[in-house]
Structure 1
Amino acid sequence: MTDNSIINGVPWFDDRGAPVNAHGGCIVEEAGRYYLFGEYKTDDENTFIGFSCYSSPDLVHWTFERIVLPRQDDGLLGPGRIGERVKVMRCPSTGKYMMYMHCDDLGYADPHIGMAVSDGIAGEYQFQGALHYRGEPIRRWDMGTFQDRDGTGYLLVHDGDIYRLSADYATADHLVASGLAPGGESPAMLEKEGRYYLLFSNKTSWERNDNYYLSAPSVDGPWTHRGLIAPEGALTHNSQCTFVLSLRRDGETVHMYMGDRWSFPHQASAATYVWLPLHIESDAITLPRFLPSWSPESAAETDLQGAELEIGFSSRERGAFVEVPFSGNQVAVHGSADQSSGYALVEIFDAAGDDRVHELLVDFYSLQAEHGLRYVSPRLPTSEYRLRITVTGEAPVWKDKAGNRFGAVDHRVTVDRLVVPQSR
Structure 2
Amino acid sequence: MSPIPGVQLVRRADGSVAQLHALGMLKDGGRWLAYGEIKTRGSRFGGICCYATEDFVHWRDLGCALPAGEPGGMTSPERIVERPRVLRCPANGLYVMYLHVDGEGDYRYAHVGTAVSERPEGPFRPLSTMRFGMNASRDIFAFQDWDGSGYLVSEDRDQGTHIYRLSRDYLSLVEDLVCRRGQDGRFGYESPILLHRGDWYYWFGSQLTGWDCNDNMVSVSRDLRGPWSPWKPVAPPGTQTYQSQCDAIVPLSEDPALPCLYIGDRWRPDHLGESPLVTLPILIDDGCVRLLWREQWDPGKGWR
Question: Normalization by structure 1: what TM-score?
Answer: 0.65
Picking from 233, 238, 250, the partner of 2:238 is 233
Q: Partner residue of 1:155?
A: 152
What is the one-letter code of the residue matched to 1:168? D
Q: What is the number of equivalent residue pairs in this alignment? A: 293
What is the one-letter code of the residue matched to 2:178? A
Contact 1:130/1:138 (<8 A) preserved: no
Matches within 5 A, 1:2-401: 4-42=2-40, 45-73=42-70, 74-105=72-103, 106-133=105-132, 139-158=136-155, 159-181=160-182, 182-248=187-253, 254-269=259-274, 271-287=275-291, 289-296=292-299, 298-299=300-301
Q: Unaligned 5+ residue runs, structure 2?
A: none
2: CA distance, partners of 1:49 / 1:126: 15
Structure 1 residue 187 displacement after superposition: 0.5
1:301-333, Cα deviation, whole Å (9 max, x unpaired)? 9xxxxxxxxxxxxxxxxxxxxxxxxxxxxxxxx
Structure 1 residue 131 displacement after superposition: 3.2
Of Structure 1 and Structure 2, which has the larger fraction of its residues in strand? Answer: 1
1:319-373, Cα deviation, whole Å (9 max, x unpaired)? xxxxxxxxxxxxxxxxxxxxxxxxxxxxxxxxxxxxxxxxxxxxxxxxxxxxxxx
What is the one-letter code of the residue matched to 2:14? R
Q: 1:250 to 1:300 in 2, by over 3 A?
A: closer
Contact 1:112/1:137 (<8 A) preserved: no
Percent of residue pairs identical: 33
Q: Unaligned 5+ residue runs, structure 1?
A: 302-424
What is the one-letter code of the residue matched to 1:284? C
1:72-110, Cα deviation, whole Å (9 max, x unpaired)? 113232131011111011111111111001111212122
Contact 1:246/1:253 (<8 A) preserved: no
Structure 1 residue 280 displacement after superposition: 2.2
1: CA distance, partners of 2:168 / 2:295: 41
Q: 1:295 to 1:137 in 2, by over 3 A?
A: farther
* DSSP 3-state at the match of 2:252: strand
* DSSP 3-state at the match of 1:268: helix
Q: What is the RMSD computed on CA atoms of the aligned residues?
A: 2.1
* DSSP 3-state at the match of 2:269: coil
**If you compute each CA radius of gyration, which structure gives the higher value, 1 or 2?**
1
* DSSP 3-state at the match of 1:247: coil
Question: Normalization by structure 2: what TM-score?
Answer: 0.90
* Higher RCO (Cα < 8 Å, 6 or more apart): 2
Contact 1:130/1:137 (<8 A) preserved: no
What is the one-letter code of the residue matched to 2:29? A
* DSSP 3-state at the match of 1:280: strand
1:208-228, Cα deviation, whole Å (9 max, x unpaired)? 100011111111111121410
Structure 1 residue 248 displacement after superposition: 2.6
